[in-house]
Structures are given as structure tokens and as C-alpha cells.
């Protein structure tokens, strides 16, 4: 007895596209959730000269759904020092202070799995991935706030 499945090549192509679409959706979900975190972190970032706040970034994912986010560039050394310094300070801008990125991550952590699921589903349904010109509509309304390459070593993953 012989079993012949016609259209096997077409099925392989369709499955590879589905896999590609799923990977692109995962990349978009991770990128958008990282930008949701950055959108919370930026207003909490000390603003004295503006250099630290303007150095926030989220990278676009490449091969896998992994992004890098953090603060760096001209404020590289300062970013780490300010973020980790727990000594009492009189911050120049209300609502800002140390642990600005860590606290933003903590705020999103409770619903992160659900947020990522919703973002993944939206990206998959819309057939889009994570590129600056091809982002899905963000159901969490966080929006993408950046997408450049890292500007320095003072960054988190």
C-alpha cells in the first residue's frame, strides 16, 4: 500500500510561512512590550541635563525574539551610577529617581505574560513583525518609543 500526498511542497511552504509569521509576531510582541516598559521608565528617569533620559533605547529583535533595552551613550557611566545609587537625593524633577528602569519592569511584570500574549495575537492576526515601519497596532496603547541600536555599555537585557 502506498500513500501519496499531493501538494506536499505547497504544504511545506505554507507551514514555513506560518512558522515565519509566528516568529515575526513573537519579535513584535517582545519589542512592543519592551517599549511599554521604556514608556514607563522614561518619565521616571532623572532629567537634570536631559542626557540620561534621552539615552533610553530598545533595540529591534534580529534572528530571535530578544531585545535589548537600557540607557547609555553619552550618559553610559552616569546611567549605571544613578540607577544603582540608593543614597538619599534631592532629585531635580519630581517623580524621578534611582531604579527607574527596574521599577518600570516591576510595574509591568504582573501582567507581562498576558500583555505579551495579546501583543503576539495582534501581530499574528495582522501578519506583521517588529520593524519600525511594520509594527502591529498595540492593544496595550504603549506604542513604540524607540528602536535604535544600543548607544553604550550602560544597558540591561
Domain residues for the domain of 61 are 9-147
In a domain, 86, yes or no: yes
Res 33: pLDDT: 93
Q: What are the 10-residue block averages of pLDDT along the chain, 157 residues in total? A: 53 70 89 93 90 90 89 83 85 87 92 89 84 52 41 40
Selection from 30, 27, 33, 51 nearest residue 105 by Cα: 33
User: Cα separation of 83 and 55, whole Å?
Assistant: 13
Burial pattern 106-117, b for ≥16 Cβ within 10 A else e, equals eebeeeeeebbe
90 lies in some domain: yes
Residue 153 lies in a domain: no
Residue 124 forms part of a structural domain: yes
Residues 134, 128 contacting (CB under 8 angstroms):
yes
Phi-psi region at 142: left, alpha or beta (left = phi > 0; alpha = psi -120 to 50):
alpha
Cell numbers representing residue 80 in the block: 549605571
pLDDT at 8: 61
Q: Is residue 2 part of a domain?
A: no
Question: What's the CA gap between 138 and 9, in Å, rounded?
Answer: 35
Could you tell me if residue 143 is left (phi over 0), alpha (psi between -120 and 50 degrees) or otherwise beta?
A: left
- CA 121 to chain CA centroid, Å, is 16
Counting the structural domains of the chain, the total is 1
> What is the pLDDT at residue 136?
53
Sign for the CA dihedral angle at 88, 54, 39, 68 comes to negative
| pLDDT in the model for residue 1 | 38
Burial of 121 from C-beta contacts in 10 A (0-12 / 13-18 / 19+): middle
Amino acid at each position: 500500500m502506498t500513500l501519496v500526498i499531493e501538494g506536499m511542497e505547497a504544504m511545506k511552504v505554507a507551514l514555513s510561512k506560518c512558522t515565519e509569521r509566528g516568529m515575526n509576531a513573537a519579535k513584535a510582541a517582545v519589542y512592543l512590550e519592551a517599549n511599554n516598559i521604556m514608556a514607563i521608565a522614561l518619565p521616571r528617569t532623572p532629567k537634570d541635563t536631559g542626557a540620561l533620559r534621552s539615552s533610553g533605547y530598545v533595540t529591534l529583535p534580529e534572528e530571535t525574539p530578544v531585545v535589548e533595552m537600557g540607557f547609555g551613550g553619552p550618559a553610559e557611566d552616569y546611567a549605571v551610577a544613578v540607577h544603582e545609587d540608593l543614597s538619599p537625593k534631592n532629585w531635580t524633577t519630581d517623580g524621578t529617581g534611582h531604579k527607574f528602569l527596574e521599577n518600570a519592569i516591576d510595574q509591568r511584570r504582573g501582567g507581562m505574560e498576558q500583555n505579551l500574549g495579546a501583543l503576539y495575537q495582534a501581530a499574528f492576526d495582522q501578519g506583521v513583525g517588529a520593524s519600525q515601519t511594520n509594527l502591529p497596532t498595540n492593544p496595550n496603547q504603549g506604542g513604540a518609543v524607540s528602536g535604535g541600536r544600543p548607544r553604550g555599555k550602560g544597558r540591561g537585557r
